[in-house]
A and B are shown apart, each in its own frame.
Chain A
């Protein structure tokens, strides 16, 4: 089943609020092998000018996974996950994510197109605090191999 083009331009509802904790940031920094004190030590982070420990730049992927990658896994969208590889990923920051931030993730499907036998699905996810402050925007392209038949 090809990817449903009706989803082009669709914005999904925001995720449930996600509270960024010091423990989760440390857990993630450990998993990527990064010993930097600004991800672990409040005093070191404050000495560098942050209100609390900050998250590594690829941390938002934790938040979208916790939200179940709701947009891309919508059954009506029709992505065949067995055939999907990650094509591109980027993050743009207004400021770092900081422990104590409570954010939602809201995804819009910005492009669906065929490239050879593959189909490319591009989406944009905005991470905002509950006050509406934009912290980070992520762009992601998934490649469904053979999706174009």
Chain B
């Protein structure tokens, strides 16, 4: 089992380890199936370009899910996510090649709250642009 971070060990202002998550066309096809969101802009280049997009783009909820993964990885198995919120500010464009794109997530401990709760602020970037803004989470740690 992964290491379990403790509330007592957390310091305000601490930076969480940055993580990079790959996004390929296969990721998006799998996410379509798992989420039930089959909007063709997430898998069909012809339709994506026809509606003015540069290429196929990731589901916003896929990008949010990677941010959630970043939070749950840090909080550990006994950490509980109480709040997770994002604002979608830019697209994650996913080219049809062997590499795809990536989402880089960073986070900072913003505040320690009562009840063993910790407020985090998060950023997510792809290809040099912020793809999520005003991203934040509140977790409860043991």
Contacts and interface: CB of A to CB of B under 8 A. Distances in A.
Interface string A34-50: 10111000001101110
A31 B37 CA distance: 12
B106 interface: no
Contact of B35 (A37, A49, A65): A65
Interface in A67-115: 82, 85-93, 95-96
Contacts of A38: 77
Contact of A48 (B21, B65, B78): B78
B10 interface: no
Please tell me the size bucket of the interface on A.
Answer: 35 or more
Contact of B36 (A30, A62, A96): A62
Most buried by B among A30, A45, A61, A85: A61
A32 interface: yes
26 contacts: A27-B33, A28-B34, A30-B30, A30-B34, A31-B35, A32-B31, A32-B34, A32-B66, A33-B27, A36-B69, A36-B73, A38-B77, A48-B1, A49-B78, A56-B68, A58-B65, A58-B84, A61-B35, A62-B35, A66-B36, A86-B61, A88-B85, A88-B88, A89-B88, A93-B83, A96-B81
Interface of B: 1-2, 21-22, 27, 30-31, 33-37, 51, 60-62, 64-66, 68-69, 71-73, 77-78, 80-88, 134
Interface of A: 27-28, 30-34, 36-38, 44-45, 47-49, 56-58, 61-62, 65-66, 82, 85-93, 95-96, 139
